[in-house]
Chains A and B, each alone.
Chain A
Amino acid sequence: MSDVSPATLPVRPAAAPAGMRLRALLAGPLLFPLLVALLLVTVLAAMAVGGAGIPLARIPAALGLAHPIDAAIADRDRLVLLSVRLPRIAMAVIIGALLAASGAIMQGLFRNPLADPALVGVSSGGALAAAATIVIGDRLTGQALPFAILPLAAFAGSLVTTALLQRLASRGRATSIAIFLLAGLAIAALAGAGIGLLVFVADDRQLRDITFWMLGSLGGATWEKAALIAPFLAVLFAAIPFIGRGLDFLVLGETEAFHMGVAVERLKRIAIVLIAAMTGAAVAFAGVVGFVGIVVPHLLRLVIGPGHRRLLPASTLFGAALLLAADTAARSIAAPAEVPIGVLTALFGAPFFLMLLLRQRGLAGL
């Protein structure tokens, strides 16, 4: 390249000037307004769609924002929205945000665009701990445990798996992407076997609960549960300014990050705890929902680039919208029955992952 004068080289040769301007706008000042608008539209659609359809025109009245034309209908709509649909929307939004952000952090930490908490066993680890809590806790106390215990158990399970994965994948100085994926696969299989054992000893009611974790569902959403996971989102936003820049530096490798002034070990510990907490919280209330963490950051990186200080907040918004859309589809395409949302995200996410894997084959060394 040195025989060509650099000044004459086109900058992004593939993009036309107009396309570049649009892209710069999308990636720049328009990004967050657009993502917020997308989320709001999805929320409105999710409020309207369902077993008892509520046309958009009736929503303001049902929420008490406009004078109702028919008070009885408005009351019924309000009941549906406040006690069923809105808590579920809130949970989908929070969990989608957590899953997407934990995927983005995990990819930054492991320098691997193919990392996803569900794919490499972190979600399974959380699910195993939650399932064990259901079965063993039941046996020990003879009664159902308070559900606030489950997020803690799932967090612990996810933390152990993430830390283990980090140990396995970064032996020596280099983190091998292939070893990382394969180790994750083995961990996921191990956790799956553990859950299988628990299923074997579980009674009928426990079995129903465990099945819920394995497939993933946002059914049974309540305001209480939404309130329990909301703080995890707050913790994430509080952490972004501290870890965002460090994760950028980490993309050049742990050594380079240290040379540039990052306290690498501390950053890794914070990132691991965050991943585990967010994945654990999501697993505890929605079960194992895969691929949101891989699809969302990847699509965003194509538009806004890989800088984490924008990628992380953008991932929460886009992840929230995507999971909410998926959940709305899951509860309406086969209504009144529900398709488990984990099945739905895997249906679309797995081919996407395969496509990424083929593209990144050189990188993965496979």
Chain B
Amino acid sequence: MNALDVEALSVRVSQKRLLDEVSFNVAPGETIAIIGPNGAGKSTLLRALSGEIAPSGGAVRLQGRPPQAWHPRDLALRRAVLSQHVSVTFPFTVAEVVRMGAGERRGAAIDARVDAALAAVDLDGFQDRIINTLSGGEQQRVHFARVNLQLACGEEANGPGILLLDEPTASLDLRHQLDLVSVAKQCAARGTTTIAIVHDLNLAALIAERVIVLAQGRVAADGTPMETINDETLSRVFGVASAVGRVPEQATPFVLPHRAERHGR
């Protein structure tokens, strides 16, 4: 069974077509980057995959069933989502926020996993800090730890799950970007399916084995980084002239954009 099946998925919000007949399948354990210009429908796609919005047409199936057909609790044991920005209005401690990833489960074993999840994002010792006193990047790492704990709990119950990331590295410094990538790679090595919206094309090429390019609500390209990140696609989809190079001895392209080709898109 596929981790995700997306069949002719369309999402319309008040006449505006945000996604238009998007189709692709995701095998368990795949690592996919979704790239595309602003307004291409990347976040909408992620929200449809997570079950947050229902399709206006077509279908999404998560491990064989539409997300809406799962009870939210069962869905949470199969997929976890890291949003771009989460604000916490009340003074919860970092440990309390991370522990939410474990749902109703409590106890010493969970506490140990909370500590481990925090250590994995380089926040060891932050357990008792109030979350809104942390910097934006630190808060984002706390939420990544929470999502990881949720994934681990789901994995225990139902086997490897699905991790959806919306711009996971946007507020992180270089070192913690790489930390996050390595944690995500560990998840992938355990069999977790990972789908991430990524703005940085070089990061996308680095982490993903498959890249889906969205433009104007449609799939513009879908394939390995070598197949999708090239001069032709970047010019067609992003409207920039670039020189896509290759990292020697690796099948990884890198991008050095030099100028915009068109204005007023």
Q: What residues make up the interface of A, taking CB atoms closer than 8 Å to B?
A: 1-2, 6-9, 11-12, 111-113, 245, 248-249, 251-253, 255-256, 258-264, 301, 305-307, 363
Contact = CB atoms under 8 A, between A and B. Distances in A.
Interface stretch (B34-42, B86-94, B188-196, B246-254): B86-94
A260 B91 contact: no
A113 B132 CA distance: 14
Contacts of B175: 2
Given A2-B176, A259-B76, 15 more contacts: A2-B138, A6-B122, A6-B124, A9-B125, A245-B104, A251-B92, A252-B86, A252-B87, A253-B86, A255-B83, A258-B52, A261-B77, A262-B72, A305-B91, A307-B96
Interface of B: 50-52, 71-77, 80-81, 83, 86-93, 96-97, 100-101, 103-104, 122-129, 134-135, 137-138, 150, 173, 175-176
A261 B125 contact: no
B89 A112 contact: yes
Main secondary structure of the interface of A (DSSP, over half): loop
Given A11-B129, A249-B100, A301 B91 contact: yes
A260 B89 contact: no
A305 B93 contact: yes
A256 B98 CA distance: 13
Contacts of A111: 89-90
A252 B97 contact: yes
12 contacts: A8-B125, A11-B128, A12-B128, A113-B89, A245-B104, A251-B88, A260-B101, A261-B75, A264-B72, A305-B91, A306-B92, A363-B89
Contact of B125 (A6, A253, A305): A6
Contact of A251 (B77, B89, B123, B126): B89
B125 A259 contact: no
A1 B139 CA distance: 12
Contacts of B50: 259
Contacts of A262: 72-73
A27 B179 CA distance: 35
A305 B96 contact: yes
Given A2-B176, A261-B72, A261-B76, A252 B88 contact: yes
Nearest to A13: B129
B182 to A, nearest CB: 15
A54 B222 CA distance: 84
A259 B80 contact: yes
Contacts of B135: 1
B88 A258 contact: no
A249 B102 CA distance: 11
Contacts of A259: 50, 52, 76, 80-81, 83
A6 B96 contact: no
Nearest to A7: B125
B169 to A, nearest CB: 14
Interface centre among A6, A11, A363 (most CB of B within 10 A): A6
B90 A260 contact: no
A261 B83 contact: no
A305 B92 CA distance: 7
A51 to B, nearest CB: 43
Nearest to B127: A11
A251 B72 contact: no
A206 B139 CA distance: 56
Contacts of B87: 252-253
A256 B86 contact: yes
Contact of A113 (B77, B90, B101): B90
A306 B91 contact: yes
Contacts of B88: 251-252
A8 B124 CA distance: 10
Contacts of A2: 122, 137-138, 173, 175-176
B155 to A, nearest CB: 15
Contacts of B126: 6, 9
Nearest to A15: B128
Contacts of B90: 111, 113, 251, 301, 306
A306 B100 CA distance: 13
Nearest to A259: B81
A84 B51 CA distance: 57
Contacts of A264: 72
What are the 8 A-B residue pairs with the smallest beta carbon separation, nearest first?
A: A261-B76, A306-B90, A261-B73, A259-B81, A6-B125, A111-B89, A11-B128, A7-B125
Contacts of B124: 6-7
Contacts of A1: 134-135, 138
Nearest to A248: B100
Nearest to B89: A111
B173 A255 contact: no
Interface centre among B91, B101, B176 (most CB of A within 10 A): B91
Contacts of B91: 301, 305-306
B147 to A, nearest CB: 8
Contacts of A301: 90-91
Interface centre among A9, A111, A261, A264 (most CB of B within 10 A): A261
A263 B122 contact: no
B19 to A, nearest CB: 17
Nearest to B50: A259
A252 B122 contact: no
A181 to B, nearest CB: 14
